Structure 1
């Protein structure tokens, strides 16, 4: 549905020259672009309790942030206001298609599709993001300035939920028109203001920090009741100072912790679960009559069914010596390596046919796993 053209660059050339290095203006990255939704549909999503949304206003340089859901849109004035809705790919199938051209970046790194609607002068002010983002211009025009990372730039809070940065020299200063795309690496200051009523689509990427990872891993170890090995010191010797915790003892403690990370099975199971967990709610609609494993096997074997993947689904896999770990929305499924071709189809494509996955019809583990995914509404006929 959407074909991405990165100027005259191949995807690998873009990764080599720009990814996490410097910003890039991509003129007509999406040719003949048509918006998958309009401002009214976006506003309708912002009225839903389960969908995260904000309205940012900047009247007379007085920045205010208001959190949804919204019952009305009086705050969305004719000028200097912006409506932002997170994870629209979880709720709007046509909008979710906009993520597909960017999947030359691995699935686990892609986060969600945020969509904004701004009236003239509307924006969120100059700010920094700690993750990569592609910003696609839809309806209207928007003026953007983007700078290079500068550790001396001062950040400040306009209010509790709006962090901005001081003014910066721009290396890109342009007006985006429908189909234009702006790539902004982490740490690059940027600001964009609508020239006229404008819709923008932001493809964001995950970049967990060490605190996030350690906290998640610790929770997983506790949940799995792993890490029960205790510290021991059978070769303990007397020492001159009773208060000394020796370098040798510190090293032993570090190795005790490292042993958990070196447990490949534990580590990969945790990694698959944590990187496939959605950050936002999903529009799950399980079937009224749940499938049995036998029904699913029959469905795969002798039908022309097409199985669609729910928008926002995070599907990744890892290979170990003995099996495949398929991780879908925070769940792990252990499958034989003979199912690798089918697992690739499920993680790489948004839809598959029964014929394509028929090679695994006799794999009980695959059929059981796919039955679970169908019954949860993550895949559907």
Structure 2
């Protein structure tokens, strides 16, 4: 097993402590997570300042119009859901279609906001580090007096952050036995329900399987939903089997003969597969777990100023200010003669003799070239340039 050291520094405006304020993350995760809905109404309308709001979200929507990431949804008063195609197909819509749909009462949905906003991405990465669950974010812009979706239950936990305007929510008090995650609610699903009126700065947590619906009244609403995709035992097993396939010759070279797909498999084939599957033990499952954790950590993160940083890195001096380019945990591990740094958005490898320098830059969020132990020679400068090039460091 490689020697691994993970550095994690929470930031004040990214993770659960910030999102749940004034409540404590530990209590939330131990007593609320996965068990019951939870609301924070803090009367701080500027709490989500810095996140694209209803006055500035047009530009972000424009990056998705004409693609599958932008949808128009309307749940009519007669109980029917109007298709988005009424205002152009998902691959042909323009901003004019977006504005027409909104004026006609449609909710504008923008998926994968974390791939388009550095601020939202930093929040998602912080939530991923604290929950070990892949976290995405979607915008929902709803005009006054409208509802986008009928009552339904999601397949995953969500945290709703009210950015602008107001929205009314109804959430079942318990997880209904007759509605499965991913299904529409039944007429009695919300017979016993919590009712909340979210205003800017508020958040609402809804566990998977709880039926809910939301609608606006007099005001438009813009909310950001953070969705959490948990790693399942099936994910772990599939990764372990994939690694088994990659290192096992018989699984890759033994081929089924013509006609064997339509008849019972030969005993020899079944015996080979069974024997190899029995090799999956603690070491193999740990390897699969580490690979899934690395894949989650290395997900790409949008940043700003990267091109400027690359130019500045060509002109490094001993007093050049350096900071971490993205937020999140970083993992340093030794792998034979190599020292590997994994961080939010990527991975980079150096000779093992660079381990002290790697630990220094991971442990210190802001520093200069001369602060790094050792002489200020070209070797150190090249080390820093590589960290800027791969996206771990930014120049001040």
Give the TM-score taking structure 2 as reference length: 0.68
Structure-1 residue corresponding to 2:277: 254
Supply the RMSD in Å over aligned alpha carbons. Answer: 4.5
Structure-2 residue corresponding to 1:304: 321
Pair 1:356–1:370, CA change in 2 (3 A)? closer
For the 8 Å contact 1:55–1:82, the answer to whether it is kept is yes
Distance 1:365 1:55 in 2: 54
2:184 to 155, 164, 171: 164
**Structure 1 unaligned spans of 5+:** 157-162, 232-242, 346-351
Post-superposition Cα deviations, 1:206-234, rounded to whole Å, max 9, x if no partner, equal: 31334444445555666xx5334779xxx
1:184 to 206, 228, 244: 206
For the 8 Å contact 2:309–2:388, the answer to whether it is kept is no
Moved more, 194-203 or 59-68: 59-68
Note if 1:287 corresponds to 2:300: no
Distance 2:116 2:237 in 1: 31
- 1:198-209 pair list within 5 angstroms: 198-209=221-232
Structure-2 residue corresponding to 1:329: 345
SS at match of 1:374: helix
Structure-2 residue corresponding to 1:235: none
Structure-2 residue corresponding to 1:62: 80
1:28 to 2, 22, 42: 42
Distance 2:155 2:117 in 1: 26
1:174 to 180, 196, 199: 196
Distance 2:391 2:193 in 1: 45
**Structure 2 unaligned spans of 5+:** 1-11, 253-265
Post-superposition Cα deviations, 1:258-278, rounded to whole Å, max 9, x if no partner, equal: 48715x6x5466234422353
What is the deviation of 1:65?
4.3
Note if 1:150 corresponds to 2:176: yes
Distance 1:131 1:260 in 2: 29
Distance 1:123 1:283 in 2: 31
For the 8 Å contact 1:48–1:69, the answer to whether it is kept is no
Post-superposition Cα deviations, 1:344-370, rounded to whole Å, max 9, x if no partner, equal: 55xxxxxx3234994467899998776
What is the deviation of 1:26?
0.9
For the 8 Å contact 2:150–2:213, the answer to whether it is kept is yes
Distance 1:68 1:248 in 2: 49
2:295 to 274, 284, 288: 274
2:220 to 197, 207, 222: 197
Paired residue total: 347
For the 8 Å contact 2:167–2:214, the answer to whether it is kept is yes
- 1:202-217 pair list within 5 angstroms: 202-216=225-239
Pair 1:55–1:220, CA change in 2 (3 A)? farther
Note if 1:47 corresponds to 2:62: yes
Moved more, 130-139 or 33-42: 33-42
For the 8 Å contact 1:5–1:30, the answer to whether it is kept is no
For the 8 Å contact 2:169–2:198, the answer to whether it is kept is yes
Distance 1:255 1:5 in 2: 44
Pair 1:142–1:282, CA change in 2 (3 A)? same
Distance 1:190 1:357 in 2: 56
Distance 1:149 1:360 in 2: 56
